[in-house]
Amino acid sequence: MFDWIQQFADWLIYRQIGLERGRRLAEALNFFVYDSIKILLLLFVVIFFMGIVNSYFPIEKVRNFLSRNKLYGLEYFMASAFGVVTPFCSCSSVPLFIGFVRGGIPLGVTFAFLITSPLVNEVAIGLFLGLFGLKATAIYVISGVVLGMTAGIILSRFRLERYLTPWVKEVLANAQREEEKFTAENTPFFQRLPVIWREAAKILKGVVPYVIVGIAIGGLMHGYIPEGFFEKYMSKENLLAVPMATVLAVPMYSNASGILPVVQVLVSKGIPLGTAIAFMMAVVGLSFPEAMLLKKVMSLKLIGIFFGVVTLCIIVSGYLFNLIF
């Protein structure tokens, strides 16, 4: 399916620029051109389709759905699954949190959404498809959903309401089931498309620099680091590798678009996929800027519990990945 991109990269590097096949620089550049085109293409396709889904399921609809339906435990799954298709920028985490709580949605369910949403998003899925293929992407999405769900259920057992800041408790006391306030838009499909297209282009434009830099770093490492270089330090047999990679990654912050191309090279050089994914999830899913924002609605203790539970879940899914692959 992507042969034509490889042909283009070969043509550009070997014919046009005239670099010799097999030289390090040539191979690194070839890899860079091929990967950039393929990944940006896939990214756009995924972002565009997620845009269509999102146009029909905006966040208000998600909240109303979760608020109205008692689903006997299934609501954790639904919240987590909605987290995949609903994009949200970390600066929205507080309004989102309050909005959910105000709609009478339990804290655990709210957390399930808050955890999955940054972890598995359209950009991450697009990149994953381009870098690791369909099977790994499916497993990644599923494990992201399960992770959010599990963490949400565990968190709900802690009786976390105690640790909210006073004004959120007040909101909680006045919480009510959301009536059908949401006015459904009846814009026909073809009128939605231009808007969705523009949004997708805007998102892509925003992540392009990160992706290019990520792929460039990846390309350099690809060309210059010997095969199996990391295997010595981070093999599957080394049981400490997953927790170490995760804990190291928590204070780091980047978005999926910057980190994934680098992760792919790490994997191709011998780091087990599970370890690499645990690292990536911790970088993307947990961040200090987000913690600072959440301080407005949660006590430090709750933020600590939240980060602790998510870190544990990431470590577990890292081990699982290593078992599967």
Partner 1 sequence: MKTIKILGTGCPNCKRTTEVVQQAVEELSLPDVSIEKVEDIMKIMEYDIMSTPAVVIDERVVIKGRVPSKGEIMELLKV
Told to check if 177 binds partner 1 by CB under 8 A, we report no
- Give the nearest distance from C-beta 149 to partner 1 in angstroms: 21
Closest approach, Cβ 217 to partner 1, in A, equals: 23
> What does each C-alpha distance from 81 to 122, 148, 169, 228 come to in angstroms?
13, 9, 27, 36
Give me the residues paired with residue 298 across strands.
164
- For partner 1 (CB under 8 A), the number of binding residues is 23
Choose the stretch contacting partner 1; rule: CB under 8 A; options: 14-22, 52-60, 279-287, 314-322.
52-60
Q: In the window 283-302, what residues touch partner 1 (CB under 8 A)?
A: 293, 296
What is the C-alpha separation between 84 and 240, in angstroms, rounded?
30
Q: How many CB atoms lie within 10 A of CB 56?
A: 12
Q: Which positions from 200 to 239 touch partner 1 by CB under 8 A, shown as an x/- string?
A: --x-------------------------------------
Q: Does 94 interact with partner 1 (rule: CB under 8 A)? A: yes
The residue range among 95-103, 138-146, 151-159, 213-221 that interacts with partner 1, by the rule CB under 8 A, is 95-103
78 in contact with partner 1 (CB under 8 A): no
C-alpha distances in angstroms, 88 versus 139, 243, 305? 22, 27, 22
CA dihedral for 171, 177, 183, 189, sign (positive or negative): positive
Q: Does 68 bind partner 1 (CB under 8 A)?
A: no
**Both structure tokens of 313:** 């879940």
Task: Give residue 72's region: left, alpha or beta (phi > 0; psi -120 to 50).
Answer: left
Is residue 51 near partner 1 by the rule CB under 8 A?
Answer: no
- Helical segments of 69-133, H only: 74-85, 93-102, 107-119, 122-132
Q: From the list 9, 19, 29, 59, which residue makes contact with partner 1 (rule: CB under 8 A)?
A: 59
47 with 200: CB under 8 angstroms?
A: yes
Chosen residue from 99, 144, 258, 318 binding partner 1 by CB under 8 A: 99
Q: How far apart are CA 266 and CA 273, in angstroms?
A: 9
Calculate ∠ Cα 202-49-82, nearest 5°: 100
Rounded to a whole number of angstroms, the minimum distance from the CB of residue 215 to partner 1 is 23
As given in the structure block, the two tokens for residue 20 are 């010799």
Query: Judged by CB under 8 A, which stretch of 40-48, 183-191, 195-203, 219-227 contacts partner 1?
Result: 195-203
Q: Which residues pair with 164 in a beta bridge?
A: 298
Q: Which tokens sit at 149?
A: 């769900």
Q: Of 9, 13, 36, 63, which one interacts with partner 1 (CB under 8 A)?
A: 63
Residue 53 is a binding residue for partner 1 (CB under 8 A): no
Q: Which stretch binds partner 1 (CB under 8 A): 23-31, 94-102, 134-142, 317-325?
A: 94-102
Closer residue to partner 1 (CB): 63 or 222: 63
Count of C-beta atoms within a 10 Å radius of residue 206: 12
Residues that bind partner 1 (CB under 8 A): 58-60, 63, 88-92, 94-96, 98-100, 102, 167, 171, 198-199, 202, 293, 296
